[in-house]
Structure 1
Amino acid sequence: MKMENKRAGGILYLVVPCYNEEEVLVHAAEVMRDKLGRMASQGIISPKSKIVFVNDGSSDNTWKIISDLCGCDDVYSGLCFSRNYGHQSAILAGMMAAKEHADMVVTIDADLQQDIEALDKFVGCYQEGCEIVYGVRNDRDTDGFLKKLSANMFYNFMHLLGCNVMSNHADYRLLSKRALDALAEYREVNLFLRGLIPTMGFQSDIVYFDVKKREAGRSKYTLRKMVALATNGVTSMSTRPIQFITILGFLVSLFSFVMIIYCIIDWFSGRNVPGYTTSLVVSLLMGGLTIFSLGIVGEYIGKIYLETKARPRYIIESVIWKESKDTAQKGNGEANAECAD
Structure 2
Amino acid sequence: MKPRLYMIIPCYNEEKVLPITSEMFLEELNLLIAKDKISENSRILFVNDGSKDKTWDLIKELSEKDEHFIGICQSRNRGHQNAVLAGMMEAKDVADITISIDCDGQDDIAAMEAMVDRYHEGCEIVYGVRSNRDTDTFFKRFTAQTFYKLLNKLGGEIVYNHADYRLVSARVLKEFANFKEVNLFLRGMIPLVGFKSTSVYYERHERIAGESHYPLSKMLALAFDGITSLSVKPIRLIAGFGLGVSALSFIGIIWAVVATILGRTVAGWSSTVCIVCFMGGIQLICLGVLGEYIGKIYMEVKARPRYIISERTWEKDEKAEKKKCSK
TM-score (norm 2): 0.94
Deviations 1:8-33 (A, max 9, x none): 43111100001111111011111111
- Cα shift at 1:278: 2.1
Q: Which residue of structure 1 lines up, in the alignment, with residue 325 of structure 2?
A: none
1:76 to 61, 64, 69: 69
Match for 2:198 among 188, 205, 211? 205
Q: 2:263 maps to what in 1? A: 270
CA separation in 1, counterparts of 2:263 and 2:210?
72
1:48 aligns with 2:41: yes
How big is the shift at 1:321?
A: 2.7
1:231 to 224, 227, 237: 224
Query: Which residue matches 1:187?
Result: 180
- 1:323 deviation in Å? 12
Is 2:142 the partner of 1:149? yes
CA contact (8 A) 1:137 1:169 kept: yes
1:57 lines up with 2:50 in the alignment: yes
Q: How do 1:1-341 residues align onto structure 2 when only pairs under 5 Å count?
A: 8-321=1-314
- In structure 2, stretches of 5+ residues that fail to align are 318-327
**Of the two structures, which has the highest relative contact order with CA contacts closer than 8 Å and spacing of 6 or more?**
1
Give the SS at the match of 2:299.
helix
Residue 161 (structure 1) shift: 2.9
CA distance in 1, matches of 2:6, 2:88: 9
| Contact 1:150 1:223 survives alignment (8 Å) | no
Q: Contact 1:161 / 1:238 at 8 angstroms: preserved in 2?
A: yes
SS at match of 1:171: strand
- Please state how far the C-alpha of 1:144 moved relative to its aligned partner: 2.5
Cα distance in 2 for partners of 1:109, 1:43 equals 25
User: Within 2, Cα distance between the matches of 1:145 and 1:323?
Assistant: 48
Q: 1:322 Cα shift?
A: 7.2
Q: Distance in 1 between matches of 2:265 and 2:183?
A: 56
Structure 1's unaligned 5+ residue stretches are 1-7, 325-341
Runs of 4+ in 1 over 4 A off after TM superposition: none
- Equivalent-residue separation in structure 1 for 2:314 and 2:17 (angstroms): 22
Q: Contact between 1:133 and 1:174, CA under 8 Å: does it hold in 2?
A: yes
> Quick one: distance in 2 between partners of 1:91 and 1:39?
22
Could you tell me whether the CA contact under 8 Å between 1:9 and 1:127 is conserved in 2? no
Percent of residue pairs bearing the same amino acid type = 49
CA contact (8 A) 1:104 1:175 kept: yes
TM-score normalised by L of structure 1 = 0.90
RMSD after superposition: 1.5
Deviation of residue 35 (structure 1)?
0.9
Q: Secondary structure at the match of 2:102?
A: coil
Quote the residue 2:321 is aligned against. none
